[in-house]
Amino acid sequence: MDAEFDLLPWTSAVAEKLNRFAAGFPEASIYHHPVWSELLRAVYGGRLFLATVWRQRALSAVAPILELRNPVFGNRVVSLPFSDHCLPLCLSRQDSTVLLKGILNSRELATPALLELRGGYQALPGIACVPSGYLHRTSLSADEAKVFARFDKQSVQRRIQKAQANRKLRVEYRTDAAAMREYYRLHIETRQRLGTVPAPRRYFEQLHTRLIEGARTGFIELVYYRGRLAAGSVLLTAYRTMSYKHSGSDKDLWKYHPNHLMLWNAMQTGCSMGLETFDFGRTGMGSINEGLRKFKMGWGSEEIQLQQIYAGTDPCLRAWTRRILRKAVFWLVPRTPRLVTQAAGELFYGHI
């Protein structure tokens, strides 16, 4: 049965095709939902496409693509940028090969450009496929006790129970703009402590407007200790998955385990909504991330190694510029006031 590749420019009809097709895959998440692709375009610019494979006029594989053009940092074609993962959705492994070849040979996309695909494709000769991190997913069910029983007793179960017994901790689920602003302040503080660049304010504003308020595909969870914000997260829901997209916390209040309470409450909400998977998101490679990796494993999660495919051209000067900028910003962030950290995110997050 012959397969045909087609790169579709983004329209509302194309977005609906993606939404209907993704609904049939248990691994589909917010990153496959059209509102996520449209959010990225609204914040970072560029052109959206849907790479497709067809068999007998029926859709057989899809991958959303954002093309980003920049005269200083170079052109990038990514599926999808600023996303923890976005595996292609394919009815067969052969379809992933057709999809990859079609993207590589497309004349509609910018050239020269660096092509970045978030794994899940059949490898081709001469195409670099490298480990990019780990994905952790915990299975949910209507029986919360079974979910809880899979958690590590010492590092997770007991800390949840301690937090639940602490009446000074209060959890709120919210969808208003004020809650997003409150979370954003905690996000900046957390990123500064970790020495990483925060996403720009306009991203969180659009995230609230388009996904939480508009499409109703998520909420903000805030945990307070005696009225002081101790932990917060942005959780996004789509298809059968709840994604733990953003989180932050006050290090001085870790001893009260607000993060454990926040995560378990989110999972309980997912169970009550009939969702099947809690997605912890991507964890980077290297020893610096081993603590986070171990933490996620403690929640009875399945670990999947993520791969990233690189192809195309990345002019040396532009690649060198990106590397220097990345090193400079990551050195600067933990050593500067909060406003400088926020400004760095506004200016450079989309390029590093």
Both 141 and 187 in a single domain?
Answer: yes
In this structure, are residues 125 and 101 in contact, taking their beta carbons and an 8 Å threshold? no
Do 212 and 100 fall within a single domain?
no
**Helix pair 338-348, 316-332: axis angle to 10 deg:** 160
The pLDDT value given to residue 317: 46
Same-domain check for residues 311 and 229: no
Same-domain check for residues 293 and 256: yes
* Structural domains in the chain (count): 2
At residue 230, what is the residue type? A
Residue pair 318/72 in contact by the 8 Å Cβ criterion: yes
pLDDT score of 331: 63
**pLDDT value of position 112:** 63
152 and 142, same domain (yes or no): yes
Q: Which segments of the chain have a pLDDT < 50? A: 315-317
The pLDDT, as a whole number, for residue 262 is 98
Residue 280, token pair as written in the block: 């912890």
- First and final C-alpha spacing in the chain: 42
Domain with 193 in it: 135-306
Both 226 and 319 in one domain: the answer is no
User: Which residue, 156, 74, 147, is CA-closest to 115?
Assistant: 74
Q: Report the CATH number that the domain containing residue 272 is assigned in CATH.
A: 3.40.630.30
pLDDT of residue 279: 98
With CA atoms as reference, report the closest residue to 104 among 309, 308, 312, 314: 312
Q: What is the pLDDT of residue 255?
A: 97
Identify whether residues 30 and 88 lie together within a single domain.
yes
pLDDT of residue 162: 98
| Residue linked to tokens 């994604």 | 243
CA distance 188 to 287: 24
Q: Do 296 and 334 belong together in one domain?
A: no
Do 92 and 116 share a domain, yes or no?
yes
Query: What pLDDT score was predicted for residue 51?
Result: 97
**DSSP type of residue 198:** P
Burial string for 19-57 (b: 16+ CB within 10 Å, else e) reads bebbeebebbbbbbbbbbbbbbbebbebbbbbbbbbbee
CA distances from 47 to 1, 78, 86, 117 (A): 32, 11, 17, 16
Residues 93 and 9 in one domain: yes
Are residues 119 and 168 located together in one domain of the fold? no
CA distance 128 to 311: 7
HEC-encoded secondary structure of 250-314: CHHHHHHCHHHHHHHHHHHHHHHCCCCEEEEEEECCCHHHHHHHHHHHCCCCEEEEEEEEEEECC
339 plus 247 within the same structural domain: no
